[in-house]
């Protein structure tokens, strides 16, 4: 129990002894260097989607994961400023024909681009604008606003919207990283269109890793191939089928190598009424030649409150769990969704056991604890580290300003306050750095037993050094 630590260690500062554990700790410290050895084993998610209305329940590792698939702006989480600016760009004819939505994981850049694609093809929006603007929406003339065009969202009910919402509108094309399906045949995105539609309905806030696991890529790197670029050129040179406009949504142009230069001419001088919507996370990994030809739209991280509302509303999470998770998810709805699956986990109890083992009960308890966490699996291990990290950040803030804890659950504040009694800022920062490091290696499939054993030793030393220092 953490309260026991409080009486034995927090008050005396120097009382606990680690004498007997030193040998095994030094032994275990020798394993630190092995942490980076990355196993090649991966666990592709076996995913089955069961849809109900507009909420998809995805079974992942035996647990239900609930997400929403947005195709109207009103269904995209947060991003109020962009939801207003994007329609205005279009209505005021200030829209470039190539746009880059740049947003970190979990910000909803893809969701926004999907909603915008639907907005562009929605008959209630695009027809009146097209009439007002003449032959090209993207020309120089400013169209007179039409009544229906004043709407800030697609209608959601016209035939175009219905097809767009099923990711099956013939004038909305998708391009995304894929892996080889048949040896010897370079893959193109359409090879995976069925999986892609299912993925968007299930994981609109998913990342590249989720997608590649979803299509069973295992260790293969995704790629947007030269053949895919040829396919895009072919598709966009056709006349549009139903809509006034043709839209290409390219997710993760980071996966486009030099073959992406094939697209430059098309991006520069596209056929009439053609819009490119690129959606990226990392600006530095995009071809400079493409970057220089797009209108950049930065998609900010979400506010805690927006994540909290989405969790309670869309995912029917309990309000307290939603608030707690929103506070630690760093504006990343992808992370929040993963954490909500484990909202019933009591990370604090696991953390208390760990700290007790580190500081009080010694090597036997430590290896028992390490065995226990090793069985949890990577996602949970990462969440646990994230939770500890969050408490440390809270402790740091509370050292500077006591009121900083306001709004956080009482047991978190209580924990942070106690932790502040045994560690100073420098130590907390050192532990945070170790936790970040550990999370990095967990993501790369490090051996979790070795990793957590090494982390145990490191934290022991970080905390103990302070205690030695205090006793001098």
Span of 101-109, 150-158, 240-248, 412-420 interacting with Zn ion by CB under 5 A: 150-158
Output 149 or 217, the one with its CB closest to Zn ion.
Answer: 149
Distance CA 125, CA 137 (A): 12
Distance CA 378, CA 249 (A): 32
Span of 16-24, 128-136, 154-162, 315-323 interacting with Zn ion by CB under 5 A: 154-162
- Per CB under 5 A, 357 contacts Zn ion: no
Shortest CB 259 distance to Zn ion, Å: 35
The count of residues interacting with Zn ion (CB under 5 A) is 6
CB 382 within 8 A of CB 341: no
- Per CB under 5 A, 158 contacts Zn ion: yes
Shortest CB 117 distance to Zn ion, Å: 12
- Taking CA atoms, 159 is separated from 113, 381, 398, in Å, by 19, 46, 55
- Per CB under 5 A, 115 contacts Zn ion: no
For Zn ion, the binding residue among 21, 72, 126, 154 (CB under 5 A) is: 154
Output 125 or 321, the one with its CB closest to Zn ion.
Answer: 125
Shortest CB 240 distance to Zn ion, Å: 16
- Per CB under 5 A, 162 contacts Zn ion: no
Residue 365 makes CB contacts below 8 A (sequence gap 6+) with 353, 356, 357
- Per CB under 5 A, 161 contacts Zn ion: yes
Shortest CB 120 distance to Zn ion, Å: 10
For Zn ion, the binding residue among 18, 32, 155, 376 (CB under 5 A) is: 155
Site for Zn ion in 307-346 (CB under 5 A): none
Shortest CB 91 distance to Zn ion, Å: 15
Convert 377-441 into a string of H (helix), E (strand) and C (coil).
Answer: CHHHHHHHHHHHHHHHHHHHHHHHCHHHHCCCCHHHHHHHHHHHHHCCHHHHHHHHHHHHHHHHH
- Per CB under 5 A, 121 contacts Zn ion: no
- Per CB under 5 A, 126 contacts Zn ion: no
Output 124 or 342, the one with its CB closest to Zn ion.
Answer: 124
Output 158 or 302, the one with its CB closest to Zn ion.
Answer: 158
316-322: Cβ within 8 A, 24+ apart: 316/66, 317/343, 318/343, 320/409
- Per CB under 5 A, 122 contacts Zn ion: yes
Shortest CB 172 distance to Zn ion, Å: 13
Span of 39-47, 158-166, 233-241, 325-333 interacting with Zn ion by CB under 5 A: 158-166
Span of 119-127, 222-230, 371-379, 384-392 interacting with Zn ion by CB under 5 A: 119-127
| Binding region for Zn ion (CB under 5 A) | 122, 124, 154-155, 158, 161
């Amino acid at each position: 129990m953490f309260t026991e630590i409080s009486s034995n260690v927090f008050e005396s500062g120097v009382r606990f002894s680690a004498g007997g554990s030193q040998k095994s700790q030094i032994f275990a410290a020798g394993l630190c260097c092995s942490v980076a050895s990355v196993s090649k084993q991966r666990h592709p998610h076996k995913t089955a989607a069961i849809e109900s209305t507009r909420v998809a329940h995805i079974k992942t590792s035996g647990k239900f994961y609930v997400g929403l698939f947005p195709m109207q702006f009103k269904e995209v989480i947060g991003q109020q400023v962009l939801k207003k600016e994007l329609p205005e760009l279009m209505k005021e004819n200030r829209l470039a024909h190539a746009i880059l939505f740049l947003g970190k994981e979990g910000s909803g850049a893809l969701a926004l681009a999907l909603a915008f694609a639907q907005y562009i093809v929605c008959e209630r929006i695009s027809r009146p604008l097209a009439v007002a603007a003449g032959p090209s929406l993207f020309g120089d003339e400013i169209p007179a606003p039409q009544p229906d065009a004043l709407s800030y969202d697609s209608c959601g009910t016209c035939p175009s919207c219905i097809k767009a919402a099923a990711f099956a509108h013939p004038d909305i094309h998708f391009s995304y990283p894929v892996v080889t399906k048949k040896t010897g045949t370079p893959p193109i995105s359409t090879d995976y269109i069925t999986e892609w539609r299912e993925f968007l309905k299930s994981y609109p806030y998913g990342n590249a890793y989720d997608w590649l696991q979803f299509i069973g890529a295992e260790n293969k790197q995704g790629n947007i191939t030269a053949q895919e670029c040829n396919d895009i050129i072919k598709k966009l040179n056709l006349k549009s089928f139903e809509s006034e406009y043709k839209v290409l949504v390219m997710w993760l142009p980071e996966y486009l190598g030099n073959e992406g230069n094939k697209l430059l001419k098309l991006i520069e001088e596209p056929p009439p009424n053609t819009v490119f919507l690129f959606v990226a996370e990392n600006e530095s990994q995009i071809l400079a030649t493409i970057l220089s030809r797009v209108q950049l739209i930065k998609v900010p991280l979400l506010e805690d409150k927006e994540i909290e509302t989405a969790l309670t509303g869309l995912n029917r999470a309990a309000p307290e769990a939603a608030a707690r998770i929103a506070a630690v998810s760093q504006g990343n709805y992808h992370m929040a969704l993963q954490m909500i699956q484990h909202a019933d986990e009591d990370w604090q109890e696991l953390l208390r056991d760990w700290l007790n083992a580190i500081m009080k009960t010694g090597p036997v308890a430590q290896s028992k604890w390490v065995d226990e966490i090793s069985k949890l699996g990577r996602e949970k291990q990462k969440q646990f580290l994230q939770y500890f990290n969050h408490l440390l950040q809270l402790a740091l803030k509370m050292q500077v300003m006591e009121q900083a804890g306001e709004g956080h659950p009482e047991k978190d504040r209580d924990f942070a306050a106690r932790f502040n009694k045994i560690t100073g800022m420098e130590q907390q920062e050192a532990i945070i750095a170790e936790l970040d490091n550990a999370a990095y290696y967990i993501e790369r499939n490090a051996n979790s037993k070795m990793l957590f054993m090494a982390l145990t030793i490191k934290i022991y030393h970080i905390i103990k050094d302070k205690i030695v220092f205090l006793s001098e």
